[in-house]
Chains A and B, each alone.
Chain A
Amino acid sequence: MSNRISQQHARLMFDQSECRYYFGPDHPLNPRRIQALMDLLACGGLWDSADERTRLDGRAATLDELGLVHTPEYIAAVQRLSEPETQTANERRSSSAQAVSKEEPETQTANEQRSSSAQAVSKEEPEPEGLSEEERREREELALRYGFGEGDTPASPGLHEASARIAGGTLVAMSAVMGLPEGGVFASEDERPLHIFHPAGGLHHAWSDRASGFCVYNDVAIAIAHVLQASEAKVLYIDFDAHHGDGVQRAFYDDPRVMTVSFHETGRYLFPGTGDVLEMGRGSGYGYSVNIPLEPFTEDDSYSEAMDALLSQLVTAFAPDILITQHGCDTHAWDPLTHLSLTMTGILAQMKAAHQLAHTYCNGRWVALGGGGYDLYRVVPRAWSLLWAEMSDQQAPAEMPEEWVQRWQPEWLATQAQDVAVQQVMGNVVPPISFPTTFMDRAQDFPPRPRRWPISRTNRHTVGLVRHLLVPGSVRQAFPSPRTRSPLAGLFDLLHMNKASTPSRSKTLDTSAGSLLLRDFCPPSLVERLRPDSGLKAFARLPEREHHLLLNIAKSPDCALTLAHTTTGEIVGEVTIAPADEWWEGIDNLYEVAIQVSTNWRRMGIARNMLAFSLELDALEDMILFAIGLSWHWDTEGARISVYRYREMMVRLFASQGFAEYPTTEPNVSMEPANVLLARIGKRVDQRAASQFLSRLLNSSNLAHF
Chain B
Amino acid sequence: MIVRDIMATKLVTIEPDATLAHAVALLKQHRFHHLPVVRPVQLPTSTDDVHGKSRNGLTFEGLLTTTDIDLVAALARQHPAQGQQPWQERRVVEVMHRALIRVTPTTSVAAAAQILVERGLNYLPVVEYSHLEQGSQALLVGLVTRSDLLMAFARAMGTFEPGMRLDIELPMGSSVPLARTLLLAAELHVPIRSIMAAPLVGGVPSSAALRLGTINPGPLLLRLQEEGIHYSFGSSLVEGNGHV
Residues of A within 8 A of B (CB): 28, 106, 149-152, 205, 212-214, 243, 246, 268-274, 296-297, 336-337, 339, 421-422, 424-427, 429, 449-451
Given A151-B188, A151-B189, A269-B233: A246 touches B215 (CB 8 Å cut-off) = no
Instruction: List, in ascending order, chain A residues with CB within 8 A of B215's CB.
Output: 152, 205, 213-214, 243, 271-272, 337
Q: How far is the CA of A336 from the CA of B233 in the complex (A)?
A: 14
A421 with B239: CB separation less than 8 A? no
Instruction: List, in ascending order, chain B residues with CB within 8 A of A450's CB.
Output: 239-240
Q: How far is the CA of A451 from the CA of B239 in the complex (A)?
A: 9
A427 with B234: CB separation less than 8 A? yes
Chain A facing B: main interface SS? loop
Q: How far is the CA of A205 from the CA of B164 in the complex (A)?
A: 14
Q: Contact check: which of B188, B218, B239, B243 meets A337 at CB < 8 Å? A: B218
Which residues from 169 to 199 on chain B have a C-beta closer than 8 Å to any C-beta of chain A? 188-191
B218 with A336: CB separation less than 8 A? yes
Highest count of chain B CB atoms <10 Å: which of A149, A271, A426: A271
Q: How far is the CA of A205 from the CA of B216 in the complex (A)?
A: 13
Instruction: List, in ascending order, chain B residues with CB within 8 A of A426's CB.
Output: 217-218, 221, 233
Given A339-B237, A424-B241: A269 touches B165 (CB 8 Å cut-off) = yes
Given A151-B214, A272-B215: A205 touches B234 (CB 8 Å cut-off) = no
Q: Counting CB contacts under 8 A, is B162 at the interface? A: yes
Given A106-B189, A451-B239: A425 touches B224 (CB 8 Å cut-off) = yes
What is the distance, in angstroms, from B74's C-beta to the closest C-beta of chain A?
A: 24
Q: How far is the CA of A243 from the CA of B159 in the complex (A)?
A: 16
A269 with B162: CB separation less than 8 A? no
How many chain B residues touch A (CB < 8 A): the figure is 32
What is the distance, in angstroms, from B180's C-beta to the closest C-beta of chain A?
A: 16
Q: Counting CB contacts under 8 A, is B122 at the interface? A: no
Can you name the residue of chain B whose Cβ is closest to the Cβ of A269?
B234
Q: How far is the CA of A429 from the CA of B239 in the complex (A)?
A: 8
What is the distance, in angstroms, from A212's C-beta to the closest C-beta of chain B?
A: 5
Instruction: List, in ascending order, chain A residues with CB within 8 A of B159's CB.
Output: 273
A271 with B241: CB separation less than 8 A? no
Q: How far is the CA of A272 from the CA of B217 in the complex (A)?
A: 12
Q: Contact check: which of B164, B190, B211, B234 meets A150 at CB < 8 Å? A: B190
Q: Counting CB contacts under 8 A, is B238 at the interface? A: yes
Instruction: List, in ascending order, chain A residues with CB within 8 A of B234's CB.
Output: 268-269, 296, 427
A337 with B216: CB separation less than 8 A? yes
Highest count of chain A CB atoms <10 Å: which of B158, B164, B236: B236
Which residues from 98 to 148 on chain B have a C-beta closer than 8 Å to any C-beta of chain A? none
Q: How far is the CA of A150 from the CA of B165 in the complex (A)?
A: 17
Which residues from 204 to 244 on chain B have a C-beta closer than 8 Å to any C-beta of chain A? 211, 213-219, 221-222, 224-225, 233-234, 236-241, 243
Q: How far is the CA of A547 from the CA of B224 in the complex (A)?
A: 59
Can you name the residue of chain B whose Cβ is closest to the Cβ of A270?
B164
Can you name the residue of chain B whose Cβ is closest to the Cβ of A106?
B189
Q: Contact check: which of A151, A246, A296, A429 meets B162 at CB < 8 Å? A: A246
Highest count of chain A CB atoms <10 Å: which of B191, B214, B237, B243: B237
Q: How far is the CA of A152 from the CA of B164 in the complex (A)?
A: 13
Instruction: List, in ascending order, chain A residues with CB within 8 A of B166's CB.
Output: 269
Contacts A212-B162, A273-B163, A425-B225 known; list 20 others, CB within 8 Å: A151-B191, A152-B214, A152-B215, A152-B216, A213-B162, A243-B215, A269-B234, A269-B237, A272-B162, A273-B159, A273-B162, A296-B237, A424-B225, A425-B218, A425-B222, A426-B217, A426-B233, A427-B233, A427-B237, A450-B239
A150 with B221: CB separation less than 8 A? no
A269 with B190: CB separation less than 8 A? no
Q: Contact check: which of B165, B221, B240, B243 meets A273 at CB < 8 Å? A: B165
Given A339-B237, A425-B224: A151 touches B218 (CB 8 Å cut-off) = no
B222 with A421: CB separation less than 8 A? yes
Instruction: List, in ascending order, chain B residues with CB within 8 A of A297's CB.
Output: 237, 239
Q: How far is the CA of A212 from the CA of B163 in the complex (A)?
A: 10
Q: How far is the CA of A336 from the CA of B219 in the complex (A)?
A: 11
Show 29 A/B contacts (Cβ-Cβ < 8 Å), sorted by A. Answer: A150-B189, A151-B189, A151-B213, A151-B214, A152-B214, A152-B215, A152-B216, A205-B215, A243-B215, A268-B234, A269-B237, A270-B164, A271-B214, A272-B162, A296-B234, A297-B237, A336-B218, A337-B215, A339-B237, A422-B218, A424-B241, A425-B221, A426-B221, A426-B233, A427-B233, A427-B237, A427-B241, A427-B243, A450-B239
Q: How far is the CA of A243 from the CA of B241 in the complex (A)?
A: 24
Q: How far is the CA of A424 from the CA of B236 in the complex (A)?
A: 15
Instruction: List, in ascending order, chain A residues with CB within 8 A of B217's CB.
Output: 271, 426
Can you name the residue of chain B whose Cβ is closest to the Cβ of A26?
B219
Instruction: List, in ascending order, chain A residues with CB within 8 A of B240's CB.
Output: 450
Q: How far is the CA of A212 from the CA of B214 in the complex (A)?
A: 8
Q: How far is the CA of A292 from the CA of B236 in the complex (A)?
A: 19
A427 with B189: CB separation less than 8 A? no
What is the distance, in angstroms, from A221's C-beta to the closest C-beta of chain B?
A: 15
What is the distance, in angstroms, from B165's C-beta to the closest C-beta of chain A?
A: 5
Can you name the residue of chain A whose Cβ is closest to the Cβ of B193?
A273
Can you name the residue of chain A whose Cβ is closest to the Cβ of B224?
A425
B190 with A271: CB separation less than 8 A? no
Q: How far is the CA of A451 from the CA of B222 in the complex (A)?
A: 25
Instruction: List, in ascending order, chain B residues with CB within 8 A of A270's CB.
Output: 164
Highest count of chain A CB atoms <10 Å: which of B188, B215, B238: B215
Which are the 7 A-B pairs with shortest beta-carbon distances? A272-B162, A269-B234, A425-B221, A422-B218, A150-B189, A213-B215, A271-B215
What is the distance, in angstroms, from A244's C-beta to the closest C-beta of chain B?
A: 9
Given A424-B241, A425-B218, A427-B234: A273 touches B211 (CB 8 Å cut-off) = yes
What is the distance, in angstroms, from A214's C-beta to the closest C-beta of chain B?
A: 6
What is the distance, in angstroms, from A117's C-beta to the closest C-beta of chain B?
A: 18
Q: How far is the CA of A337 from the CA of B240 in the complex (A)?
A: 19
Q: How far is the CA of A556 from the CA of B224 in the complex (A)?
A: 56
What is the distance, in angstroms, from A275's C-beta to the closest C-beta of chain B?
A: 10
Highest count of chain A CB atoms <10 Å: which of B164, B217, B218: B218
What is the distance, in angstroms, from B87's C-beta to the closest C-beta of chain A?
A: 28
What is the distance, in angstroms, from A535's C-beta to the closest C-beta of chain B?
A: 36
B164 with A273: CB separation less than 8 A? yes
Highest count of chain B CB atoms <10 Å: which of A205, A274, A336, A450: A274
Q: How far is the CA of A520 from the CA of B214 in the complex (A)?
A: 58
Instruction: List, in ascending order, chain B residues with CB within 8 A of A269's CB.
Output: 164-166, 233-234, 237
Q: How far is the CA of A337 from the CA of B189 in the complex (A)?
A: 17
Q: How far is the CA of A205 from the CA of B162 in the complex (A)?
A: 9
Q: How far is the CA of A422 from the CA of B219 in the complex (A)?
A: 7
Q: How far is the CA of A421 from the CA of B219 in the complex (A)?
A: 10
Instruction: List, in ascending order, chain A residues with CB within 8 A of B221's CB.
Output: 422, 425-426
What is the distance, in angstroms, from A105's C-beta to the closest C-beta of chain B?
A: 12
Q: How far is the CA of A427 from the CA of B225 in the complex (A)?
A: 12
Highest count of chain A CB atoms <10 Å: which of B162, B211, B239, B243: B162
Instruction: List, in ascending order, chain B residues with CB within 8 A of A243's CB.
Output: 215
What is the distance, in angstroms, from B157's C-beta to the closest C-beta of chain A?
A: 10
Q: How far is the CA of A449 from the CA of B239 in the complex (A)?
A: 9
Can you name the residue of chain A whose Cβ is closest to the Cβ of B243?
A427
Can you name the residue of chain B whose Cβ is closest to the Cβ of A450?
B239
Instruction: List, in ascending order, chain A residues with CB within 8 A of B238's CB.
Output: 427
Instruction: List, in ascending order, chain A residues with CB within 8 A of B213's CB.
Output: 150-152
Q: How far is the CA of A426 from the CA of B129 in the complex (A)?
A: 55
A274 with B162: CB separation less than 8 A? yes
Given A421-B222, A427-B233: A272 touches B243 (CB 8 Å cut-off) = no
Instruction: List, in ascending order, chain B residues with CB within 8 A of A213's CB.
Output: 162, 215
Highest count of chain B CB atoms <10 Å: which of A149, A150, A268, A339: A150
Q: How far is the CA of A274 from the CA of B158 in the complex (A)?
A: 11
Q: How far is the CA of A422 from the CA of B221 in the complex (A)?
A: 8
Instruction: List, in ascending order, chain A residues with CB within 8 A of B222's CB.
Output: 421-422, 425
What is the distance, in angstroms, from B185's C-beta to the closest C-beta of chain A?
A: 9
Highest count of chain A CB atoms <10 Å: which of B188, B222, B224, B240: B222
Instruction: List, in ascending order, chain B residues with CB within 8 A of A337's CB.
Output: 215-216, 218
Instruction: List, in ascending order, chain A residues with CB within 8 A of B163's CB.
Output: 271-273
Q: How far is the CA of A152 from the CA of B225 in the complex (A)?
A: 21
Q: How far is the CA of A212 from the CA of B243 in the complex (A)?
A: 28
